[in-house]
Structure 1
Amino acid sequence: MRIAVVMGGITSEREVSLRSGQAVLDSLIGQGYNAFKIDLTHENMVSAFTENQFDLAYLVLHGEYGEDGRVQGLLDMLGKKYTGSGMTGSAVAMDKILTKIIAKDLGIRIPKTYEKVKDVKGYPVVIKPAKEGSSVGLYICENENEANLAMENLKNKEPLIEEYIKGEELTAGILGSEKLGVVRIKPKSGLYDYESKYTVGMTEYECPAQIDLKIYEEVLEWAKKIHDKLGLLGVTRSDFLLKDGKAYFLEVNTCPGMTVTSLAPKLAGLKGYTFDT
């Protein structure tokens, strides 16, 4: 079997994808697989898949044009097999606003959200792109002026506006139909931003999360509900905030990072999986 490890892409998460993809590629080669790298760019968005021969595309793409169903749809049309979720599930999960609507309908607790700045009932609020990850373009706004400035900075992106919940970061993993577990994230800066996510030593991870068992099981069950409702496949990671004994769902990641600081390998480790098995 010839495996194409597809990484890079054209979004703000390109560098993270390259690091994740290289880790996956090194592991596959180390296990004896016939694997090679495809660095996806503006220039080869289609030709990368039509001009290379492979049996399976291992997708390690983050953000739009990779994690949002577009590449999956292209591969479907080409009749090529690939890892992870399909086109529809990927597209829905990529939209944080739509995913939160679905989560709320499933009885999952979510932060209070607003359509416009003028609708905000109380500050602070978080404003971020609805279709990006890795904490890129995230603003914590203390007042209306800061909120309007954040909206101006995100004017070319669909924004998500929600109440700011100052709580503990949790993430729960699902692999196929298996619940992997929950990890508590402790960024030393106090905010799990881009630097804290991808800089070694900037964040501590509690594996598994030492939290109330009822909350632990609730978070895992909610992650499974989202995974199943969206028809997701492979490994997914759902993020939550914990405050005053209540968990709040934030988003689900259909193509989690695979860097040395990434959470998906840590979650898999809770069930005895290693990066190379």
Structure 2
Amino acid sequence: MAASARVRILDHRTPQERDRPFLPGAGKTWLLPFYDALTRLGGVRVLHRRAVEIAGIEPGQAVADVGCGTGNLSFAVLAAQPSARVTGLDPDRAALRRAARKARRRGVALTLVQGYADRIPAEDASLDHVVSALALHHVDDESRDAFARDALRALRPGGKITIADFGGPASGGGGGHDSHGGGPAHALRHLPGLIRPRTAHAPAAAGDHDDGIVALLTRAGFADAREVAHSDHRFGRVAFVQAGRPAS
């Protein structure tokens, strides 16, 4: 591992948040050891790489990965821009420990923070990017609104937020269509049925449909919120949505 690579886990929770419930990334706590294998099988890495490509992160920029889980989107950011300063945020301590082990094996610097999406661990106007992939549908409506407002607070003027999550119109609408019909993302249809109810029927998921993410970011005060691409697979439509903090 490079001497400059540093991996750490911080606890950003308040005393009142110690017992705050959350939905694990795999849907059930006992599935965590299998999570990375399942996401590889499902072609989720393709979605992560596409999100990073859309984000347009530049060398040295500060990035918060909200709902980072075991760190796969963070690692996609670092693969594209090794000098990016990445902080992963997730309430699941076990997932963060797994992300830390992976970061050490890769020899990359990564800060991991145990906390919730509605309180991003960053000073005002200090981030260049906020990114999130397949996590926002785990969050209830009130916390999702709070997340959008806090992301706006944490981003510098001109900073960007890029979200990949289930939702968007059934067809058409704002941006390119990524077709993975014969590629790795097609393998998502082979994931065990254990995971499908998490994505299809999670209580918060309804807010992501029908351009809900675009509306969420617009309400929070972001500029030019729009779907810029989407990917269709068995578990539903994944929309890639981007917006920016107004420059003034």
Task: Specify which structure has the higher proportion of helix.
Answer: 2
Does 1 or 2 have the higher relative contact order (CA < 8 Å, sep 6+)?
Answer: 2
Structure showing greater radius of gyration is 1
